Amino acid sequence: MRLSARVNALKPSSTLAVDAKVKALKAQGIEVIGFGAGEPDFDTPDNIKQAAIDALKAGKTKYTATEGEPAARAAIAEKLQSENGIACGPEHIVISAGGKHSLYLALQCLLDPPRDGVGGGRPQEVILPTPAWVSYRPMIELAGGKVVEVPGAVANDFKINPRQLEQAISHDTAAIIINSPSNPCGIMYSPDELRQLAAVLERHPQITVITDEIYEKLIYGDMPHLSLGSLPSLAERTITINGLSKAFAMTGWRIGYACAPGPPSEGGKVAKAMAKLQGQMTSNITSFSYPAIVEAMTNGATAVETMRKRFAERGTLIHGLIAAMPGLKCPKPTGAFYVFPDVSEHFGKTTPQGVLFNTALGFAEALLDEARVAVVPGEDFGECARNHVRLSFACSEKNIEEGCGRMDAFIESLQ
């Protein structure tokens, strides 16, 4: 049986691969400290679970509107209006099977594969500040687009500047993806930094802005979050992606959403297009999840704040432990739940078991094999990320201390 070229060219997710390997080792009874999965170790808050339980018991088990039930879309729109300053209504919201699905739908609706006689047969370009989440690139390429990486420097906490953005824009630029707070870097752009990037984008009206704000509630320090969709100059060409997975500890629920108001004259055509495409893919999400969305949007703040404070403490803990390790360089996390240290000073060294490594992948494999600590190698996060590994601190303080202790001992043992 023949497989399609696009699937043959598709790389599996490295983050999911690491998580699967950890689970397989644990199933064999092998103790592993896993820093791979970007998944909160907290349980979904009880009031949110109860809303879904009540809906299930009430028989809410039938098909619903593809784009989501009106009450859930209204709750999301109200949240975006009041918290993010985005002018939108329920008709601009599409609820999908996770933020990943929302992103996939948006890119499929925006991009076309190269065609003879259209744009000279050149692919549409999507600017991607890197390091960037591993799934952005394959989703762009599956939609027929070309990734244009703009590397952020470690010295600037991995953030790009307006000059870099301007230089990356061409006649073929169709979109940009901005992720703040960031996976894998654990940093965020300040409102002023985002406004400076927005000032560049204002001069290029052909560019659609896709802003992935899945970690917006996980911010540490005094810096406020700014949604680019709230800026009048970009509001009509910004698609805001978010979901309940990270902040509400609901990864397995698979609830994401997109907000795409567009110009009033277009009648929300991007949101309608995404719903149309979803109608031929998954249809609606699980029907008894909708009351849980409403509950999370209206009564979830206290639980989220409790988890955010714990993540902040863990971020300080893990950064301090990593900063004390020989040869590692790592910005302090200001959002999300990741740290992304540069481990290249140890390339060319040999482990106690005689393994020589020269890449982040080699470092990660040796660390797992010899110290039983799982991290994600940086190669798939972008060219500028090749010297790095990602550690998630969405785990207990005990695991952080034990895992970092093993990692420190591993580094000290290298020759």
Tell me: do 315 and 245 sit in the same domain: no
Tell me: do 366 and 280 sit in the same domain: no
Residue 51 falls inside a structural domain: no
Tell me: do 239 and 366 sit in the same domain: no
HSE (side-chain half, CA atoms, 13 Å) at 375: 32
pLDDT of residue 117: 54
Q: Which domain holds residue 334?
A: 5-43+302-413
Which of 250, 275, 299 is the endpoint of a domain?
A: 299
Domain total of the chain: 2
Tell me: do 267 and 170 sit in the same domain: yes
Q: Quote the distance between the C-alpha of residue 26 and its chain's center.
A: 26
- How far CA 143 is from CA of 24, 137, 184, in Å, comes to 33, 10, 23
pLDDT band at 12 (very low <50, low <70, confident <90, very high): confident
Q: Which two structure tokens, joined as six digits, stand for 321?
A: 């432990």
pLDDT band at 30 (very low <50, low <70, confident <90, very high): confident
Could you read off the pLDDT of 296-325 as tens digits, one per residue?
999 999 999 999 999 999 999 999 999 999
Tell me: do 239 and 307 sit in the same domain: no
Length of the chain as a residue count: 415
What are the helix and strand counts (H, E) for the chain? 13, 14
Cβ atoms of residues 131 and 388 within 8 Å: yes
Residue 115 falls inside a structural domain: yes
Per-residue pLDDT for 337 more than 60? yes
Q: How high does pLDDT run on average in the chain? A: 96
Tell me: do 169 and 277 sit in the same domain: yes
Residue 22 falls inside a structural domain: yes
